[in-house]
């Protein structure tokens, strides 16, 4: 059994927590390639409203998605304080614009509580659970669910 397999079967997960507005979210650290400062994006015609444009990342074209807008929240107004989380979403690499990265968390499956029944179908489609850590409520996000396959093609 590989170390990664042992890590998963023991129930431990490493997550990257980040802020969007006044809410905190986290994603599996294994989907994150890098974290970089905000770089203005070149707008793309006919792109979905949440796609800010593209940047050149070491010779590769990287679509930048406003994570806040993608989740139906108020669109971000990027500043030098914002960061881009470069993440693998299924077979594509995308940049997620967020306010700030706050923590790297190591949690067990028992630390993850079910998404509340009051959540909308949309929220339940990407929220895999909620973490209550140090007085904070952090939503665990499944990136593959945030970007359905037909929308990934547009990015």
What is the domain range of residue 72?
3-154
DSSP-assigned beta bridge partners for residue 32: 87
pLDDT, position 154 = 46
Contacts with 82 (C-beta within 8 Å, 6 or more apart), sequence order:
37, 38, 76, 97, 98, 99, 100
Whole-number Å distance between alpha carbons of 26 and 10: 20
- CATH code: domain of residue 82: 2.40.50.180
DSSP-assigned beta bridge partners for residue 20: 23
Read off the DSSP letter of residue 115: P
Whole-number Å distance between alpha carbons of 32 and 49: 23
Domain count of the fold of the chain: 1
pLDDT, position 72 = 85
Q: For the chain, how many helices (H) and strands (E)?
A: 5, 11
Q: Please list the pLDDT of the chain residue by residue as tens digits (155 residues).
A: 333 333 343 557 899 999 999 899 999 999 999 999 999 999 999 999 999 999 999 999 999 999 999 988 899 999 999 999 999 988 899 999 999 999 999 998 888 888 776 555 555 567 888 888 888 899 999 888 877 654 444 44
- Tokens 């793309």 label which residue? 44
Contacts with 150 (C-beta within 8 Å, 6 or more apart), sequence order:
none
pLDDT, position 155 = 46
């Amino acid at each position: 059994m590989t170390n990664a397999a042992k890590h998963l079967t023991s129930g431990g997960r490493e997550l990257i927590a980040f802020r969007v507005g006044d809410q905190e979210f986290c994603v599996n650290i294994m989907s994150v390639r890098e974290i970089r400062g905000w770089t203005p994006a070149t707008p793309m015609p006919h792109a979905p409203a949440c796609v800010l444009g593209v940047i050149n990342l070491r010779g590769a074209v990287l679509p930048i998605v406003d994570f806040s807008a993608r989740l139906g929240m108020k669109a971000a107004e990027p500043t030098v304080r914002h960061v881009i989380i470069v993440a693998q979403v299924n077979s594509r690499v995308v940049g997620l614009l967020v306010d700030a990265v706050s923590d790297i968390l190591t949690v067990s499956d028992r630390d993850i509580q079910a998404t509340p029944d009051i959540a909308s179908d949309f929220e339940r489609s990407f929220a895999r659970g909620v973490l209550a850590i140090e007085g904070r409520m952090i939503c665990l996000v499944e990136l593959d669910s945030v970007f359905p396959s037909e929308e990934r093609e547009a990015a």
